Amino acid sequence: MEKERYWTWSINYTKIYYKMDILQRIKESTDFISNKFNGKRPLIGIVLGSGLGELAEKIEEKIIIPYSEIPHFATSTAIGHKGNLIFGRLGGKNVVAMQGRFHYYEGYAMDQVTLPIRVMKMLGISYLFVSNAAGGVNVSFKVGDLMIIRDHINLMPNPLIGKNLDEFGPRFPDMTRPYDLNLINRAENIAAKLGISLKKGVYLAGTGPTYETPAEYGYFRGIGADAVGMSTVPEVIVARHSSIPVFGVSVITNEAFSFSDDYVNDGDDVVIAANKAADKMTKLFISLISEL
C-alpha cells in the first residue's frame, strides 16, 4: 500500500513538473544560454542529425556549451550525436547549432525533446534548419542522396499534447505548409548552381528504436513516405507552433526497399553513410544561410 501511494505521488509530481513548470524551465535554459552567448541573437537555429555534426566545424567565433551544463537540457545518448550547443558565425550570419539532438526513443518526454526549439525561439531565431539520417523507402533513392523534406507524416505522439503554451502559439496550429516553400525554392536553385543533385519528398517519423521490418517499409511507401526516421518531426511541429519557417534535409543512409539474404540495418553503418554525405549538406546549408 505504501508503495502504491509512493508511485501515485511520484507520477503526479512528475506530471506537475513537466506540465506546469515548462515555461519556467524554458526561461531558465534561455537565460543561462543567453548569458553565455553574451546576449547575442542568432538568426538561424540548426539541428544536426546523426553523423551530420561536421557543419559545426565550419562555424566561426564559436561559443560552445555542452548540453550537460545547460539547466533542464537532456543529454545526447544517441550514436553520432556529440551533445553541444554552439553559437557563432556561419555564412556571415549568427547561428545557434545543436550538435546532436534528443530523441523520443531515448526515453525523454516530448517536451524535453523539443525544449531546445522553444529556447531557440526565445533566443530570437527567425529560421530553423533541421537535418537527419533516414532510410530511403522511395525505390529511386540511393545511399548518400540528399532529400529536401517537403512534407511529413507524424507517427510519433504529438509534442503539443497537453496544456497549450499560448505564449508560443495557438491550440490548433495549421500544418498545411510545414516546410517553407521559399526556402525550398532557394535551396533548389543553389543546389543546381553547386552541382548538388537533390531529391524532394515526404519524411515519416516513427518512434524507433527498432528499424522497420520489410513489411513496415512497404507500408510506409504505400501511405506516401519517401524516407523514414526517428526524429525531426517533433522539433518541426514545435517550431511551426510558434511560426518559425523551417527548412529540412534528410540524408539517405540505407535503401529500405530491397533486402538480400544477408541484409541488416545497423546504426554504425547509418552514421558512416551520413558522415560521407555531410559535406554536401553542409555546403547547401551554408549557401542558403548566406542568402538570408
Identify which range of 11-19, 64-72, 97-105, 130-138 contacts ligand HPA by CB under 6 A.
Answer: 130-138
CA-to-CA dists, residue 288 to 91, 103, 183, 214, 229, angstroms: 8, 26, 8, 36, 24
- Estimate the share of the chain in helix, then strand, then coil, as percent rounded to the nearest 5: 40, 25, 40
Give the one residue of 95, 148, 256, 281 binding ligand HPA; rule: CB under 6 A. Answer: 256
Give the one residue of 160, 270, 284, 286 binding ligand HPA; rule: CB under 6 A. Answer: 270
Strand locations in the chain, DSSP E?
44-48, 60-66, 84-90, 93-99, 127-136, 146-154, 198-205, 227-229, 246-255
Rounded CA-CA distance 180/284 in Å is 16
Among left, alpha and beta (phi > 0; psi -120 to 50; other), residue 126 is alpha
Q: Which of residues 135-164 bind ligand HPA (CB under 6 A)?
A: 135
Cβ of residue 212: shortest distance to ligand HPA, in angstroms?
Answer: 5
Indicate whether 99 belongs to the interface with ligand HPA (CB under 6 A): no
DSSP string covering 182-229: HHHHHHHHHHHHHT--EEEEEEEE---SSPPPHHHHHHHHHTT-SEEE
For residues 183 and 256, which CB has a smaller minimum distance to ligand HPA in the complex? 256
Cβ of residue 259: shortest distance to ligand HPA, in angstroms?
Answer: 11
Cβ of residue 25: shortest distance to ligand HPA, in angstroms?
Answer: 29
For residues 87 and 211, which CB has a smaller minimum distance to ligand HPA in the complex? 211
Cell 530523441: give the residue. 103
For residues 112 and 250, which CB has a smaller minimum distance to ligand HPA in the complex? 250
Binding mask 211-250 for ligand HPA (x = CB under 6 A): xx---------------xxx--------------------
Give the one residue of 26, 120, 122, 134 binding ligand HPA; rule: CB under 6 A. Answer: 134
Identify whether the C-beta of residue 187 lies closer than 8 Å to the C-beta of residue 198: yes
Cβ of residue 272: shortest distance to ligand HPA, in angstroms?
Answer: 12
Cis geometry, peptide bond prior to residue 209 (ω within 30 degrees of 0): yes
Give the one residue of 99, 242, 253, 282 binding ligand HPA; rule: CB under 6 A. Answer: 253
Identify which range of 13-21, 127-135, 156-164, 183-191 contacts ligand HPA by CB under 6 A.
Answer: 127-135
Burial-class residue 159 by CB neighbours within 10 Å (0-12, 13-18, 19+).
Answer: buried
Give the one residue of 133, 190, 277, 286 binding ligand HPA; rule: CB under 6 A. Answer: 133
Give me the residues that bind ligand HPA (CB under 6 A), please.
Answer: 133-135, 211-212, 228-230, 253-254, 256, 265, 270
